[in-house]
Structure 1
């Protein structure tokens, strides 16, 4: 049985979300430093609040972790180790963690920059599948953030459209990957609670077979999930459509990845992209792309001979409103005609397709949490501004 929630006494364990905790924290100063103002969101890991760091009056997002997990023996030490690693990550495309700790009442929390934005899941849900240019641009940025985390020894373990946020910075898409590093500590604790039921943590639709089978994961597992997110951006669905861990494992081991064009109407992608997905979503880690940079290079090579019209074509059900190819850093679109650009790397790629240039310097002090500002997609030749929805957060 799971340890009882210190706030309401529930023993539901990993499935428990404590509404009593949120009611208690609103208006309070957590750990003497963070004044909790409102709820931004909630999920299996815990709840996210908008808060103010009282010492410097800085707006921040505070995530408090599932009380049942936090009450378990040895949890905080695991959490502390993983939070220390995650807080060292400094990359434009990875959310910044400012602080973490445990309050006197036992509440474990971490503090993040507060950003206006919208998850990839919400963008696609609202607008439909993306243009080829925009999808590859967003995934390039996210994968560059992933590369940095992998270099620092940090594996995400739960990459999915919900954990990748898109901001509108000056009319350009800018990507942040959320919840880095902290998944491992939570997973270790929850695995102990779930052993008897045979459950595995993660999101089945984007889970690599080794994770679904309860085996060790590494950076190649993250790359599998990232390829699945690209597939979602292009089609509006996950590669195999599995909604349980068992189905995810069976599908990834026995089925070939459906051709993108079979799920995408009106804006066909090149056959080379299907070859990319077959390798990226291979059931064996050794057969996949072995590094984040290798995945980026292969993705870009699969579309570099595509015409500008095909890059910007919107599939049926997709929205042409909004801004296409909003890059990070100071890069424009590809070095060859039709090679989409973006990402946070340095240097500038010239383009012969007339795509709009990449964004300028990244604000260095944009303060996590996640909120939702519309991140549209459409033609790079006529960008429009997005409407900012109310702030929310990924829990």
Structure 2
């Protein structure tokens, strides 16, 4: 696809190319009317040339533009179906993708993994309530703004492709590692498809490895179809039973056995984080991305202290009259979260 740098699309001056993928090329541009920096995502010709794709892009642009959430990239404008180039205009994010962060800065910690996924699930829950399924959740589609705010991207573009994620030449678009079994098998897709991909990311952030891997994409897809993966606690001993149970439920092969809504997963992550001494807020995420090494060192101490406090509470003799230490321990055990089925 010839570069559009130095040209103008309607009121947008194209300044530079900042990224490209299987669906679109992303440019940094200037809105000459409002004098603001924007990102312009121009569809590749093989996608924009199809009437169905252009019509679907329009529907999704209109729908996603109504979303207002601090962790969802905001859509400003859409080219329209009659323009020579089919494109979306969004806010421009100064920062890096989660993929880049994982490759260069990430130190796997289960609590930190739960914290980040909690924010993404909150954004997904907002979108799902509007009837929008992303279908392409992966680290490449999460931006980390320079101030530490996470931004989930590409709602508008992800849904213009076929559910098999195939191009006209039969090549897979993006990474197959985050695809849900029903996405591979051509079965009906709904919000639980996104939650499977979130489960893959949760596993990856907690352990530093992907749950489904292989020598080639077909081997990866086969393992996903069978839901075969190594238990996360084997990969990383820091992963406890509670988080492992959350991951297991998110990665269930059958959608009916997974979390049924993003809100359900959000609640379990909040309970888990509370138990390890972490507050599930964007501010907490921002603190991490502002100074990650210092944050992780302090996080290790916080988690250790929280777990010690829980252990002491579970073994402390009861003070209530007539209540035995055994019954107190039993009550403490029953108060802990059970493993999601």
Instruction: Give secondary structure in 1 for the equivalent of 2:15.
Output: strand
| Residue 204 (structure 1) aligned with residue 176 (structure 2) | yes
Residue 274 of structure 1 corresponds to 244
Counterpart position of 1:250: 222
**Alignment partner for residue 260 of structure 1, among 223, 228, 232?**
232
- Are residues 146 and 239 of structure 1, via their aligned partners in 2, closer, same or farther at CA, if it must alter by over 3 Å? same
Unaligned 5+ segments in structure 2 are: 300-341
Is 1:26 matched with 2:5? yes
Larger relative contact order, structure 1 or 2 (CA cutoff 8 Å, min sep 6):
1
**Partners in 2 of 1:224 and 1:98 — Cα distance?**
29
Q: TM-score when scaled to structure 2?
A: 0.78
Q: Deviations over 1:139-168 (max 9, x none)?
A: 111111101110111100010011111224
Distance 1:110 1:219 in 2: 23
The counterpart of 1:379, out of the listed 291, 295, 312, is 295
- The equivalent of 2:108 in structure 1 is 130
What are the within-5 Å matches in structure 2 for residues 173-212 of structure 1? 173-187=148-162, 193=168, 197=170, 203-212=175-184
> Across the two proteins, how many residue pairs are aligned to each other?
298
Over residues 106-138 of structure 1, what are the superposed CA-to-partner deviations in whole Å (9 max), with x where a residue is unaligned? 110110101112211111110233333322221
Q: Which residue of 2 aligns with 1:341?
A: 280
Task: Please state how far the C-alpha of 1:193 moved relative to its aligned partner.
Answer: 3.5
Q: How far has the Cα of 1:245 moved from its partner?
A: 5.2
| Paired position in structure 2 for 1:87 | 65
Classify the secondary structure of the residue corresponding to 2:155: coil
Q: 1:217 to 1:166 in 2, by over 3 A?
A: same
Q: Structure 1: which 5+ runs fail to align?
A: 1-17, 307-337, 345-356, 361-372, 384-395
* 1:114 aligned residue: 92
CA-CA distance at 1:256 after TM superposition: 4.1
Query: 2:335 matched to which residue of 1?
Result: none
Alpha-carbon distance between aligned partners in 1 of 2:92 and 2:264, rounded to the nearest angstrom: 31
Matching of residue 291 in structure 1 with residue 258 in structure 2? no
Residues in 2 aligned to 1:192 and 1:119: alpha-carbon distance in whole angstroms: 24
Structure 1 residue corresponding to 2:74, chosen from 84, 96, 99:
96
| 1:292-338 deviation line (CA, Å, top 9, x unaligned) | 011112233345433xxxxxxxxxxxxxxxxxxxxxxxxxxxxxxx2
Aligned CA distance change for structure 1 residues 188 and 381 (closer, same or farther; 3 Å)? closer
**Highest Rg: 1 or 2?**
2
